């Protein structure tokens, strides 16, 4: 961040005792600003809280610096109270562009949501989901029988996508991952890497007997019949990372864990 006047910081904390304690200490040292008036948002918690912060305040276009005070912190920096202003002077930015999900439900509702990690479709009952997949309006898979399927961003590729044996993708690759979850047929299908601009459309083939839900990060929509996913054209967010522990390095390191 630029030198000169200290940045105006909006500190935001999860509900844990550790995060609330850190919030109190940091506000006492640096003051507190409303997110709309701040130069940078400082999120205190885990990855779940970081995603909440991006969903709640991403439209402001303010950079977000996270410090880990939760169980998972892939999107966070290490927590240290001292030296925050000095750390903010040398941060490295990572620009993320979320996915837009539009879900049509059995009731006729159309629900839109953003996903910074992934959009996942999952069976709601013991019955396997039956889905078809179109890419840019062209049918690509007439029937996928599975527990579910997801579309992940590069930033989210090490989360649910990786657990489902999807590929890890570097930031800036302009690709998204289409990854099946426990596919039964086609049994050998392992998913696909797609250009980030690809429009992915899922249709639920038997929604009454085999209901399916769609979840964009943590926003779930039940009983969907069609879900369209595309990269957002008008929303970007910037995460800030310490140079020694930036997001691109973490994504690279994940691919060499043995």
Q: What residues act catalytically?
A: 47
163 annotated ligand-binding residue: yes
CB-based contact 146:129 (threshold 8 Å)? yes
108 annotated ligand-binding residue: no
116 annotated ligand-binding residue: no
Q: SS3 of 162, please?
A: helix
206 annotated ligand-binding residue: no
158 annotated ligand-binding residue: yes
142 annotated ligand-binding residue: no
19 annotated ligand-binding residue: no
The CA angle 250-253-256, to the nearest 5 degrees, is 160
Closest alpha carbon to 144 in 157, 129, 163: 129
Whole-angstrom Cα distance, residue 25 to residue 140?
A: 54
C-alpha 248: how far from chain center: 15
Whole-angstrom Cα distance, residue 181 to residue 183?
A: 6
18 annotated ligand-binding residue: no
Find the largest Cα–Cα distance for the chain. 62
253 annotated ligand-binding residue: no
147 annotated ligand-binding residue: yes
162 annotated ligand-binding residue: yes
List the structure tokens of 14. 């999860």
Whole-angstrom Cα distance, residue 165 to residue 149?
A: 11
CB-based contact 117:153 (threshold 8 Å)? yes
User: Residues annotated as binding site for NAD(+)?
Assistant: 47-48, 117-118, 147, 155, 158-163, 182
User: Residues annotated as binding site?
Assistant: 47-48, 117-118, 147, 155, 158-163, 182
């Amino acid at each position: 961040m630029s030198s000169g006047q200290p940045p105006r910081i909006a500190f935001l904390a999860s509900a844990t005792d550790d995060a609330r304690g850190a919030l109190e200490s940091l506000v006492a040292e640096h003051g507190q600003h409303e997110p709309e008036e701040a130069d940078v948002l400082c999120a205190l918690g885990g990855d779940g809280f970081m995603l909440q912060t991006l969903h709640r305040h991403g439209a402001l276009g303010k950079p977000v610096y996270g410090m880990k005070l939760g169980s998972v912190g892939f999107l966070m920096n290490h927590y240290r109270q001292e030296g925050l202003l000095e750390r903010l002077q040398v941060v490295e930015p990572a620009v993320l562009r979320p996915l837009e999900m539009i879900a049509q439900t059995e009731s006729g509702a159309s629900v839109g949501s953003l996903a910074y990690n992934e959009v996942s479709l999952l069976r709601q009952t013991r019955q396997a989901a039956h889905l078809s997949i179109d890419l840019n309006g062209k049918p690509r898979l007439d029937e996928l029988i599975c527990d579910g399927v997801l579309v992940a961003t590069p930033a989210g590729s090490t989360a649910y996508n990786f657990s489902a044996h999807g590929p890890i993708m570097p930031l800036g690759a302009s690709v998204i991952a289409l990854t099946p979850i426990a596919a039964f047929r086609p049994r050998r299908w392992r998913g696909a890497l797609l250009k980030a601009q690809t429009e992915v459309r899922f249709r639920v083939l038997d929604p009454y007997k085999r209901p399916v839900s769609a979840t964009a990060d943590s926003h779930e929509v039940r009983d969907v019949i069609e879900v369209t996913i595309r990269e957002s054209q008008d929303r970007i967010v910037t995460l800030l990372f310490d140079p020694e522990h930036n997001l691109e390095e973490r994504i690279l390191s994940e691919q060499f864990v043995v």
